[in-house]
Structure 1
């Protein structure tokens, strides 16, 4: 590591510590994120003490960050972090104290151990909803849930179901949140790496590979992401071999997106894929969709498709209504924000909403990891369990083994 890289590395960690410290000390809601394949770290803070919930007319919202749970909300509202303060910087360039805004500079103090203060605040402010506790799902219970899903599919009640499970890990003493977050950034360049805190609601961190909807200028984007296998060998993307089960699973997700386009009589769209993509140490099949909103006369396509797509068949199943009812009846825990959606809205004329996968919920002394697996008639319950173990490790390994 040369001198410039050393300066940049130190500046990044100090900057992330200051952002986290300001957010947790503010008493308000905040989010920190980096979009896939970019070098820009972004921070937003809503300094009001009460959690804000707004409707999902994306085109009319102020700049901010939206967070929505998996379960449908009767009032069709989501948590919204309004941009009282906004800051971004390039991770590939050195950052110095004079580059920071005044409201961050005021908290600079070299005599304080910010990482320890952040750990203490993280434990104090993380919320455990005692009315609906999350329990780690044991293997036997998950296998039973998978078998119930396979039985429902074989009876013709479902085409696909996506059961989920949780896994608890202890939050280690001396946990360094800023360093862990930076490690996620460097480890998962193709994922939306994020951390958000909403007082009395929840504290979450994740690295999700899946775009739900995105709008940039006149263009709308979405993707169908499904099928999972571990990345192996020197060139895993070229050596990947997909089974018929995985190909059909991904095709179901793509078909659902096309059905949504048909529902709103949208016929002019581009579809590319499926192709193999890498997310951390896992491979997936992905198809990309693109629409010119101006040419097709759909300026509000982002809001319309968000309503139609969530929850996607990749996190719920098909048919969506029956799959959702099956999960509500048989899953033993509240998914909360897992398999919901989140992301920046109307920041620099772009909105990027992601499915909240590969995510972790912070409690006072532990972290809850979440993972799901797509089940079809050809599924092997043991293999579905192994898939959820791999997905839990994407975030879990960095929490269980903090970087020294």
Structure 2
């Protein structure tokens, strides 16, 4: 009797197999890599109908959570329970016999699909999940007018800041290779949360978010304020960067918003570090980090509490939150869906890491819809804000249109 020799799989082959497992399961799945990590993870749930859960994250089973921007009536999020879980290291070889048993069993009944076949399988499953964006959200003149209305609202003291968004639709090329696109994003954006999730009949999204909303590990809770944007230029952009008063104030508003949330729950003991300049792909941002010991401060469920208080943050909505949200409802003109919502692994390997869904695109039929917003204060220049959104769309768009970039 011959023994089958295990072959080493390349990281592209592993990712293609994981995508095949997800897309042939008829269920929901998510694949991700955290910032500054070499570990790629997948959760898969074969339940045909996507599940929704309350946002008491400390009580959830291990899984992956996805919540839209809009504050829904049911206050619930989509949840992909980790019925099946696997992780692998990008920089370590993996033999085919090291795949988990559940994967081997599922794959034993299937031919290995080519990247082209995975593309067709993916696009066939996204036909009925087209995001309800309108032609208005693509229109430059509409966005310019939106920014002008935002500036006027700030000048009239209706809001301190507002963050209008727009969309940009691009075609998915015939040579689109999802595994190559994900690996290219991981390589290009080591400091970002690279993610892909598929919820049948709901949505299929890919992203590279630079912003943690909340993170808990053991007794430690962390969050960040991220705002201010400019293009990274030169050989050492972190050394040569200069920030305008508008950008500094925009970021300070987000930090003050986080502190105001702490005050609401009478939490006084926290560490704040920053602001400092950070790089995210081809962009620079200002960031401050906040850290709290949940045990010492007596807030064991701080993750769920802050999730409710922080979302939607002033970095994606504006300040004050209610007034800014009302402005967007009146003037923006489209449904953001999961853009500027939040997503991430919950109670996986002892930690929860939830990110704001930025630098993201929804896939449907043979098109990808890119999303981007810009923080508007009274000093905003509408043309510059449009250019900022163009740069943000490019972060994902160029990898969809050129998977091996």
2: CA distance, partners of 1:108 / 1:196: 24
- Going from structure 1 to structure 2, the CA distance change for 1:161 and 1:133 (only over 3 Å counts) comes to closer
Q: Is the 8 A contact 2:178 2:403 kept in 1?
A: no
Q: Is the 8 A contact 1:18 1:114 kept in 2?
A: no
Residue equivalent to 1:376: 377
SS at 1:224 equivalent: strand
Shifted more, 311-320 versus 73-82: the winner is 73-82
Residue equivalent to 1:314: 315
SS at 1:26 equivalent: coil
Q: Displacement, 1:110?
A: 10
Deviation sequence 1:259-296 (CA, Å, 0-9, x none): 00000000000000000000001000000000000000
2: CA distance, partners of 1:322 / 1:198: 32
2: CA distance, partners of 1:270 / 1:130: 42
SS at 2:78 equivalent: strand
Deviation sequence 1:83-124 (CA, Å, 0-9, x none): 110000111111121211122234269974421221011111
2: CA distance, partners of 1:189 / 1:109: 36
Give the alignment of 1:266-305 within 5 angstroms. Answer: 266-305=267-306
Residue equivalent to 1:90: 89
Verify: 1:53 aligned to 2:91, yes or no.
no
Residue equivalent to 2:4: none
Deviation sequence 1:226-270 (CA, Å, 0-9, x none): 000011111100111000000000000000000000000000000
Residue equivalent to 1:228: 229
Residue equivalent to 1:164: 165
Unmatched runs of 5 consecutive residues or more in structure 1: 1-6
Unmatched runs of 5 consecutive residues or more in structure 2: 1-6
- Going from structure 1 to structure 2, the CA distance change for 1:303 and 1:127 (only over 3 Å counts) comes to farther
Structure 1 segments (4+ residues) deviating >6 Å: 108-111
Residue equivalent to 1:66: 65
SS at 2:228 equivalent: strand
Shifted more, 64-73 versus 102-111: the winner is 102-111
Q: Is the 8 A contact 1:127 1:203 kept in 2?
A: no
Q: Is the 8 A contact 1:127 1:202 kept in 2?
A: no
2: CA distance, partners of 1:400 / 1:147: 32
SS at 2:148 equivalent: helix
Query: Please, what TM-score do these two structures have when normalized by structure 1?
Result: 0.96
Q: Displacement, 1:130?
A: 6.6
Q: Is the 8 A contact 2:133 2:167 kept in 1?
A: no
Residue equivalent to 1:323: 324
2: CA distance, partners of 1:127 / 1:392: 22
Deviation sequence 1:117-169 (CA, Å, 0-9, x none): 21011111114457934435111110000000000110010100000000000
Query: Please, what TM-score do these two structures have when normalized by structure 2?
Result: 0.95
SS at 1:307 equivalent: helix
2: CA distance, partners of 1:302 / 1:178: 32
Residue equivalent to 1:3: none
- Going from structure 1 to structure 2, the CA distance change for 1:130 and 1:80 (only over 3 Å counts) comes to closer
